[in-house]
């Protein structure tokens, strides 16, 4: 339902009337609002969407516009949420560090010693979004330079850059 429940209940007749007009306009014989008919209409809309490039573009355009127009509102919401839940976030972070202190310590040491980045990702050669990667948290000053997408991949697999040197992966960036 594209409306909030409260809105739907307050404007029910108006909404149903609009839908009836839409059915007539699109030559869909009205057969009440049973589930079967609803599915048929949804299938019709999906089909038109898939076949019609213009509709897809218009929809993408609209989404982009909505995203832009609500940027500030969204930011304000997240700021407010963070302010209200600051303590929980802080506590969660403390808990994470307590349970797994090595990554935190390694990161802090790298920052403290100002270990420089390499010129590019050691795996795919990207020159943007570079991050430091620890193949072994017990050697905190031993770092590799990886782009953020490679880093995510290595972290999830627990491997170092050499193992995947020539492998293709999803969001690989061109140099």
Name the residues that contact Zn ion, by CB under 5 A: 121, 123-124, 126, 147, 150
Smaller CB separation from Zn ion, 62 or 157: 157
Smallest gap from Cβ 129 to Zn ion, in A, equals 8
How many residues are recorded in the chain?
A: 175
Give the three-class secondary structure for 100.
Answer: coil
Least Å from the CB of residue 121 to Zn ion? 3
Decide: residue 113, CB within 10 A, 0-12 exposed, 13-18 middle, 19+ buried.
exposed
> Of 140 and 144, which has the nearer Cβ to Zn ion?
144
37 vs 129 by CB, closer to Zn ion: 129
Q: How far is the CB of 130 from Zn ion (least distance, A)?
A: 9
Place of tokens 């609002």: 33
Which residue's CB is nearer to Zn ion, number 123 or number 144?
A: 123
Tokens 């690989």 -> residue: 172
CA 174 vs CA 35, 100, 113, 129, 146: distances in Å: 49, 35, 31, 12, 14
| Min dist. Cβ of residue 137 to Zn ion (A) | 20
């Amino acid at each position: 339902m594209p409306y909030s429940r409260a809105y739907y209940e307050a404007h029910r007749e108006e909404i149903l009337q609009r839908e009836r007009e839409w059915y007539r306009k699109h030559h869909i014989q009205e057969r009440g609002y049973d589930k079967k008919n609803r599915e048929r209409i949804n299938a019709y809309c999906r089909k038109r969407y898939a076949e019609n490039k213009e509709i897809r573009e218009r929809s993408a355009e609209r989404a982009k516009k909505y995203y832009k127009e609500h940027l500030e509102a969204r930011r304000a919401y997240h700021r407010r949420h963070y302010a209200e839940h600051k303590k929980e976030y802080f506590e969660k972070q403390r808990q994470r560090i307590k349970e797994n202190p090595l990554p935190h310590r390694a990161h802090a040491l790298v920052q403290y010693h100002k270990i420089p980045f390499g010129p590019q990702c050691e795996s795919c050669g990207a020159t943007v979004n570079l991050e430091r990667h620890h193949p072994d948290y017990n050697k905190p000053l031993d770092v590799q330079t990886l782009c953020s997408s490679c880093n995510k991949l290595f972290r999830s697999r627990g491997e170092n850059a050499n193992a995947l040197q020539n492998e293709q992966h999803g969001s690989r960036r061109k140099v």
